Amino acid sequence: TNAPSDGALVVGQQADHDAGYALDRFEPTPKRKIAKPSVRLGGRAYEPVELVAAILGRALREALTQHDGLPPDWLVLTHPVQWSPTQRDVLGAAARRAAQALGVQLPEPVFVPEPVAAAQWYARDTHHEPPDVGQRVAVYDLGGGTFDVAVLERTDSGFDVLASGGIDPLGGHD
């Protein structure tokens, strides 16, 4: 996320490009800051919800473009396993703020821990046999800003997280 001098937030490749001109206005990993009261960019304090809403707004805008302007019937937001209810609330508020800025109404989000979402996708993939009930799987996530690992067990209703851990300041960005 990048904050030009006018205060508008820029995300994605444009933010990365603009960072070279004003590094003090650049936050490469807003996810790491979601529990902070504020993030200082270019001399101005932003709430983490603003940074995350800017990112989600771009994704939502693209989704609306691809689906004739129709909002989704359901919304799943993934998050790190260890996120507290307060951190998930910030994520939900950011989605609502992004939708409001685009003039659309989103359904209430369903929150799913990232490794559970990955394991569910893997279990539905038709290229291999899904894990049987009782089997355990490991999921590692080397994202742009963090590295997370989880061990999950397949249950009748999905996957339960047995153990998880991670390193916040280690990711593709680092």
4-27: pLDDT as tens digits: 666 678 888 888 888 888 888 898
Give residue 42's pLDDT: 87
User: Which residues, 6+ apart, have CB-to-CB distance to 134 below 8 Å?
Assistant: 153, 154
pLDDT of residue 35: 93
Confidence at residue 78, expressed as pLDDT on a 0 to 100 scale = 95
What local confidence, expressed as pLDDT, does residue 6 receive? 67
139-149 CB burial, b ≥16 within 10 A, e <16: bebebebbbbb
Sign, Cα dihedral of 115, 62, 169, 36:
negative
Query: For position 144, what pLDDT does the model report?
Result: 76
Low-confidence residues in the chain, pLDDT < 70: 2-7, 173-174
Give pLDDT, residue 151.
97
The whole model's pTM is what? 0.86
